[in-house]
Structures are given as structure tokens and as C-alpha cells.
Amino acid sequence: MKLTDYFNVLLEDTVNLGQVKLDSLDSRVEAVYKALKADEQIGHLILGKTPQGSWAHKTIINPVGSNEFDADFMLDMSENADWSDDPKKYIEEVYAALHRHSTYGNMPHSRKCRCVRLVYANSMHLDIVPRLNLADGREVIVNRDDNAWELTDPQGFTDWMKSKDALAKGNLRKVIRLMKYLRDHKNSFTGTRSILLTTLLGEQVTELRTLLDPGYYSDVPTTLLHLVKDLDAWLQARPTKPSIPDPSGSGVTFDHRWEQSTYSYFRDRIRVHAAEIEEAHEEEDKERSIELWQGIFGDGFKAPATSSSSAKFPAAAPAAASTVGRSGRAG
């Protein structure tokens, strides 16, 4: 059975990141941005900020237990001619700015391949990703390990995500959250990065499906069933790890995000989940269907309480392209 109202409870009470945490994320990003903007050495290079990854796509979920959740934001920077042959300098200088700050210098912070990470104890961490529009027209981020530029189009990816979600009647984002929950809380297909999961599920959403069956993405359980089954069919036809291009059209791929062994494990687990989801969805006895869904998602899959609670992902107001609003990681 569908049990759509049970899925609503699962999402709102168990899977979705709560509004208090989202508000805290907004305020912390704003504070970090102001601190970097005020830095005497790099402040003049900073142009703006934009949400990135699961935060921007509204697919961020509650972390496991007391683990911290993570979020990314792009730090838009202008070119410094003195660093033209040394791209990693942008990451180094953002790190240095945090290091000399009176507050953030005393918090755990580190340099990663493409970002600077700032950790809030027992709460969350921020990944700050320098992004530039170079004079030659390229939009890039930094690969610190290779000391090289990488092409990127985060807004293009977000726009692609929005178009796919609209085609799926707003249910794609919810299905991605549910599948991330299976990965993180149920230890299924561990090692598969969120950017890959989002891309692979999003690519299963097609207009042809809606033309052949207008109800193909009619609600969360129906969309979950169809997307996981369609993904399973796609994966089973590809035993060898396929190339996964960035759907934004940036020209890069996400192939470096996993190995053949990780792909094979993901492929096997999606096969299992497709069968489990179909069994639970098609079961006509309500109690048995609830039992099957709970076998997949746990005790958070339950009937609604008599009084409804507010949604954790309210409708978002439009956000300016270069600012982080109150509306909403590269995984």
C-alpha cells in the first residue's frame, strides 16, 4: 500500500533536517561570510556567497545520532593576478583568514581538496568552496591536491535539479532524502556520494514517463517505487562502472567520486531495495504493508498524530543568485 500519510510523518519527524538547524545554518554562514569579508587581506576579493550541494537542492537530512551535519557554500571571489599560476592559494588564504580570526581561529578548521572546513562541535561543519569566474570565461573551483582549476556550474546543477523535481511533482527531492536516509541511517550502499545519488535518481525522471502515465510521479511512495525500479534497471544493464557526467553541462564527470567496488555494491543494494519497495508498495494488507515499510525505513514510518506538526521544509522564497537567503553539501 502507498500509505502516503505515513511517508509524510517519516519525512517530517525523522528524515528532514529540522527548521531550527536550518536557521542555525543560515545564521552561521552569514557570520562566517561577514568575517571573511571583513578580513584585511582577502576581504576585497570576496564578491558574494551561494548555497551549494544538498543545502541548495533541499535534500539535506538529519545526521545519524549525535553526528554533525554538513553544508557547503560557494565563496565567490575575484581573481588575484599574483595567484594565477597557483590556484590552491585561494584555499590557503581562506584558511589563513579563518585561522587569524578571533572566533574561528579557535575552532577546528582544515584545508580539504576543494574547500576549507570549519567545524562546530557536536553540531555541524561548513565546507567553504572558493569559486571564481576567470577572465577567459571559465567558471571554476580549486583542486588543491592537483593545484589546478576545475570547471563547475553549481547554478546549472541546481537549475537541473529544480526542473527534474518539478517534472516529478516535487517528489524527487523527497525520494532523494529517503534514499540518503537508507544510506546513512541503515548503512546501505555506504560510500556512494550524495552528488552521485542525486544525479542518478534525477536522471531517471523523464517527461516520457509522464506522457505514458500521468500518475507516474503522483506522490512520494509511487515516485519512490518508480525511481528506484528505473534506477535498478539502468544499473543492471551496466555491470561496469559507467561515466556519470555533470548534468549541468559543465563538461566534467563525477567518475572520480567512486571506484568499481563502490559502484558494484551500490548496484547490488539498489537491486535489493527495488524488490523490497515493490513488495511493500504492492501489499494489499495494511498491517503487513506497514511492517514491510518499517523493515526498510524503521520505526519512524508510522501513522500521523492527531494534531499535525509544521513542515520542516516550508515553501522557499526566491533567493538572490549571489546571496544565501533563509530558504535553504556537495555530496
Extents of the domains making up the chain: 17-152, 157-297
What is the band of 324 on the pLDDT scale with cuts at 50, 70, 90?
very low
Distance CA 119, CA 128 (A): 11
Distance CA 236, CA 231 (A): 9
Closest CA to 168 of 133, 230, 116, 218: 218
For cell 584558511, what's the residue? 95
Global model pTM greater than 0.85:
yes
Q: Please, what CATH class does the domain formed by 17-152 belong to?
A: alpha beta
What is the band of 313 on the pLDDT scale with cuts at 50, 70, 90?
low
Average pLDDT score, the chain: 92
What percentage of the chain carries pLDDT values higher than 70? 92
The DSSP H or E segment spanning 42 is none
What is the band of 318 on the pLDDT scale with cuts at 50, 70, 90?
very low
